[in-house]
Amino acid sequence: MTKDATASRLTFKEMCAKFDVTPRTLRYYEYIELLHPDRDGRSRHYGPRERARMELILRGRKFGFALEDIRQWLLIYENEGTTAQMQAWINLADGQLAELAEQKAQLNTAIAELQKLRDDTAKALSGV
């Protein structure tokens, strides 16, 4: 391996620090085959590919995607290429946008109900 390639790799600890994840999380992502670091004995090293995958994983989690959905989406790139992966992304995003809209509606309803109950209680308390 060239010196440049070695320099662009992160150790396990560096990977945890860079992405602000726990060692347990990073090991779990490897266990479920989201990440495939290079191994040198017991040491793990993460190159540009694994760092890019980690960014995609964390972005997917931020948007509420299940880890299995993320794993399947990453496999599409490996097995079918970029165009298939982008089409799958559109389909996944459409489904997640609908799910988030439903959650937002439920939250708005809960907020309105809580606000009304709070206001009614405050009004009753002021009349005591």
What is the tens place of the pLDDT at every residue in 35-91? 999 998 989 999 999 999 999 999 999 999 999 999 999 989 888 988 998 999 999
Which domains, ranges and CATH numbers included, belong to the chain?
Answer: 1-62 (1.10.1660.10), 68-128 (no CATH)
pLDDT at 19 > cutoff 80: yes
* 84 within 8 A of 92, measured Cβ to Cβ: no
Percentage with pLDDT > 90 across the chain:
82
Report residue 49: phi and psi, to 5°: -65, -45
Model's pTM, two decimal places? 0.79
What average pLDDT does this structure show over 12-18? Answer: 97
What average pLDDT does this structure show over 102-109? Answer: 98
pLDDT at 93 > cutoff 80: yes
Indicate the average pLDDT of the chain: 92
Tokens describing residue 121: 């209680």
Tokens describing residue 98: 């609908």
Half-sphere exposure of residue 100: CA atoms within 13 angstroms, side-chain side: 11
